[in-house]
Amino acid sequence: MTMAVTAESVKALRERTGAGMMECKKALVDANGDIEVAAEAMRKSGLAKADKKAGRIAAEGVVAIDRSADGKAVALVEVNSETDFVAREKDFQAFAAAVAHAALEAKPADLDGLLAVRLPSGQTVEETRRALIARIGENISVRRFEVVTSDAPLATYVHGSRIGTVVVLEGGDEALGHDLAMHVAAINPRYLSAEDVPAEQVEKEREIIVAQAAADPKLQGKPKEVLVKASEGKLRKFLGEITLLGQPFVKDDKQVVGDVLKRANAKILRYVRYEVGAGIEKKQEDFAAEVMAQVRGA
């Protein structure tokens, strides 16, 4: 027996699936008005749509952060979309926030584990992601996450949902932690200290600087040990530029971060920085420069 396709049944299917009115109406017609059959067919169709869109580059999106009530754990996640327009969409942002909370609560071992976590809706993160793709029509991906836990205070900073940072600070105070988290967002250090820079990278840079010194007319013909000694200043400058402790502090470039910490009798144990689309082959705007300008303006 054919069941009637009513406005009420279309509305009910829309609320259940989140799909468009015409899609719901067509699914109900094909299912002879049976909502259960239509919903199942649309779920299958939604999964197929999600799979077709999986190859598209998703380099926009948001970085979401969630913090535990006791302040001893922080989760960062990057959730990507194809366009900035979708990244600003409230359902997309709600999904990113839910994923961050799921990561914080479940503390999964890897990304597959996070995608398998069930959200309050009863669906897993992966099922919710696919449903969102079917509704919005863009590829959406949960790219990465990290849960930072520590008995030491955790300072966080989010810049416009595009950059998120966490700094684990031993000593100091909340204001210093916040400033350091902002510094990490703005300057994007590659390493914490010079000791953390891989030896091969240091040696490669030393070779380049020594070669440049050898080409200097004032140093031509000098023994290699002289060239190496003359190059140490440039090497120290290079290491300072790429390490958090050696960088000029973003709020006072007359002193480096290491000196700021010494004065406060504090120590950075660890830091994490996420920036939307970092490393994805797509033109990126200079959000780090935007953060720096905003901090200095403040």
pLDDT in tens, 131-179: 998 888 888 899 999 999 999 989 999 998 999 999 999 999 999 999 9
Q: Which has more confidence, 122 or 286?
A: 122
Within 8 A by CB and 6+ apart from 223, the residues are none
Q: How many separate domains does the chain show?
A: 3
Query: Are 96 and 143 part of one and the same domain?
Result: yes
CATH number at residue 84: 3.30.479.20
Mean pLDDT of 17-28: 75
Query: Are 46 and 34 part of one and the same domain?
Result: yes
**Angle, CA 237 vertex, CA 269 and CA 228 arms, to 5°:** 120
CATH number at residue 210: 1.10.286
Label residue 161 exposed, middle or buried (CB < 10 Å: 0-12, 13-18, 19+). middle
Last residue of a domain, one of 133, 149, 165: 149
Last residue of a domain, one of 131, 149, 167: 149
C-alpha torsion sign, points 161, 244, 280, 116: negative
Asked if 244 and 193 touch (Cβ cutoff 8 Å), the reply is yes
Lowest mean pLDDT among 24-38, 58-72, 219-233, 247-261: 219-233
Query: Are 206 and 126 part of one and the same domain?
Result: no
Query: Are 23 and 81 part of one and the same domain?
Result: no
CATH number at residue 25: 1.10.8.10
Query: Are 76 and 32 part of one and the same domain?
Result: no
Strands 154-159 and 163-170: antiparallel
Residue 166 lies in a domain: no
Residue 293 lies in a domain: no
CA nearest 169: which of 156, 158, 159? 156
Q: Which has more confidence, 27 or 243?
A: 243
Residue 247 lies in a domain: no
Q: Which has more confidence, 48 or 270?
A: 270
Domain that holds residue 140: 55-149
Rg (CA), the chain: 26
Which helix or strand (DSSP H or E) is residue 112 part of?
Answer: helix 111-115
Tell me: pLDDT of 211 over 90: no
CA distance 265 to 173: 10
**Angle, CA 108 vertex, CA 107 and CA 111 arms, to 5°:** 130
Query: Are 73 and 139 part of one and the same domain?
Result: yes
Residue 96 lies in a domain: yes
Residue 275 lies in a domain: no
CA distance 161 to 261: 27
Query: Are 102 and 124 part of one and the same domain?
Result: yes
Query: Are 65 and 142 part of one and the same domain?
Result: yes
- State the chain's mean pLDDT as an integer: 85
Query: Are 41 and 66 part of one and the same domain?
Result: no
**What is the DSSP-derived secondary structure letter of residue 70?**
T
pLDDT band for 248, please (50, 70, 90 cuts). very high
Residue 160 lies in a domain: no
Query: Are 38 and 72 part of one and the same domain?
Result: no
Residue 285 lies in a domain: no
CA nearest 178: which of 170, 169, 187? 169
C-alpha torsion sign, points 127, 128, 132, 138: negative
- Max mean pLDDT among 23-27, 32-36, 47-51, 86-90 falls in 86-90
Mean pLDDT of 248-270: 95
pLDDT band for 54, please (50, 70, 90 cuts). low
Residue 216 lies in a domain: yes
Mean pLDDT of 187-205: 93
Tell me: pLDDT of 218 over 80: no
Query: Are 47 and 62 part of one and the same domain?
Result: no
- pTM (two decimals): 0.72
Share of the chain above pLDDT 90, in %: 53
Lowest mean pLDDT among 19-33, 106-120, 164-178: 19-33
Tell me: pLDDT of 240 over 50: yes
Strands 252-256 and 267-275: unpaired
Per-residue pLDDT at 255: 95
